[in-house]
Amino acid sequence: MRERTAWIMGGIAAVLPVAGLLIWLNLDGAGGAIEIPLLPAAPSEPSHPRLKVLEEPGKWEIVKTAKSSAATNRNTGTLHAYWGLNGHCLILEAELTDQTGAITYELGVKHFHDKIDHYHYTLIQDDGYVRGLIGKWKAQTAQMDWWSVYLPGAPAGVNQRMVEQQLTPGERTTSVEILNNNQLELSGFNESKRVGGSEAAPTAQPATPELARLGSAGVWQEVESVMQEGKLVTNRINGRSRWTRGGRALIYEGVIDNNGEGVYFMWVKTYDRMDGVYRFVYLFKDGPVDHFVGDWDEATKTIKWRSIQPPGNRVIHETFVSPAHRTWRVEFFDNDRKLVSSSSGESRLKE
C-alpha cells in the first residue's frame, strides 16, 4: 500500500482583481451581443447556508499529528480558506513545516453534492496524490463524518475515515484513520484555530517542469464545438487560472455561455511525482466531481486523460501548443468501446 502521512484541513484566501462583464459575440449570424458575467474575484459568502458548517474563510493555525506502527510525525503551519466557484466551493490551502524544517503544501476543496445530499471533500497532497471523500453533517453534535470514495492505487479493502468536530466557529479538531480490511494502519489528529481574516495569496510559479507543462496562470478565453442531436453547437468559455501556494497545483474557475446564461465550473490539475502521472479533478457547481489520470507524450506535447472516478468511457487528448495556447478533443465511448460522440476546443491566454 502506498502509505500517506499528510492530512489536509484548511484553505486559502486569494484576493484577485475585480472584473466586470465580458461581451461575447453570438455565432448565429445575427451579430447581437450577449453578456457573460465573469467570476467574482472573491465571493464573501457561500452560495447556500448549508455550506456555513465548513471552515470560516480566513487564516488558521494548524497542528497535525500522524502515527503508524513505525513512527509519529508532527507538522505545524498555517491554513488559508476562501470561497470559490461563485461561493459553491470552499478552497483550502495549507503550508506545513515538519520536525526537520521541511515545508510542504496541501490543497483541499469542500462543497455540497446536490445529487446525493452529502458533502464532498477533495484532497490534493504536496506530491500530487489525490483523494476524494463524501461527508454527512450531524447538527446535534456539530460533527462532520467523512469516508473515502476515491483512493487511487489503494488495494481492495483500504478505506479512509475522518471525523471533524467544530468546537467553536473558529476552532476544529479532526481525527483521521486509514484502515486495511478494518485493521488500523495509520491514524492522525489535527487541531486548527482561526487567527485572522483573509490574506492575499502570493503569486506562485509551477514547482516542477512537469507542472509547468500545464500552462500559465491568467485569464483565458476558450471555444468548444460539440455535436448535440445532430447539430454543431459552439460554446464560449471564459476563465481564470492560478497556481496554488508552492506551485503544486493549477486551479481554473470558468463560466460557459449557455444561451446567454453563465454555467460555472472549476478544475484542478496536478502531477503525481510518485506515480509519474497527471491528475485532473473537474468540479461541477451542483456537486459531482470527475477524476482523470493523464500520461504525457513528449513527441506531441499531449496529455491523454482517462476518466477513472466515476468509472467511465471518456478520453481527453489535451495538446499544449505553448504556455498560452492549448487545444483538446474529448471522446465518449460506449461499453463496447465504440465512439459515440466527441467535442473539440481551443484555449488562449489573454492576460
Q: Which residue has the higher pLDDT, 5 or 119?
A: 119
- 41-67 average pLDDT score: 92
| List of domains in the chain | 22-39+202-349 (2.40.128.20), 49-196 (2.40.128.20)
**Mean pLDDT across 225-249:** 88
Across 34-48, 228-242, 278-292, the highest mean pLDDT is recorded for: 278-292
Q: 287 vs 144, 233, 292, CA distance in Å?
A: 17, 25, 16
Whole-model pTM: value is 0.88
> Quick one: CA dihedral 94, 95, 96, 102, positive or negative?
positive
- Binning pLDDT at 50, 70 and 90, where does residue 18 land? very low
Residue 31 above 60 pLDDT? no
DSSP string spanning 184-217?
A: EEEEEEEEEEEEE---PPPP---SSHHHHTT--S
Distance CA 131, CA 291 (A): 10
The predicted model gives 322-336 an average pLDDT of 91
User: pLDDT (tens digit, 9 = 90+) per residue, 185-203?
Assistant: 999 999 999 999 988 888 8
Which residues is 92 bridged to in the sheet?
Answer: 81, 108
Percent of the chain with pLDDT over 90: 69
Q: What is the pLDDT of residue 37?
A: 59
pLDDT at residue 202, rounded to an integer: 87
CB-based contact 169:53 (threshold 8 Å)? no
Q: What is the pLDDT of residue 69?
A: 82
Sign of CA dihedral 76, 217, 4, 7: positive
For residues 99 and 92, the answer to whether their CB atoms sit within 8 Å is no
CA distance to 113, 257, 302, per residue, from 20 (Å)? 29, 16, 34
Mean pLDDT of the chain: 86
Residue 40 binned pLDDT confidence (cut-offs 50, 70, 90): low
Find out whether 337 and 313 touch, Cβ atoms under 8 Å: yes
pLDDT digits (tens, 9 = 90+) for 242-263: 999 999 999 999 998 777 678 8
Q: Read off the pLDDT of each residue in 277-292 and give the average, rounded to a whole number.
A: 94
* Closest CA relative to residue 73, chosen from 107, 96, 92, 106: 96
Cell of 52: 456555513
Determine the pLDDT at residue 125: 96
Residue 15 has pLDDT above 60, yes or no: no
% of the chain exceeding 70 in pLDDT: 88
| pLDDT tier at 43, thresholds 50, 70, 90 | confident
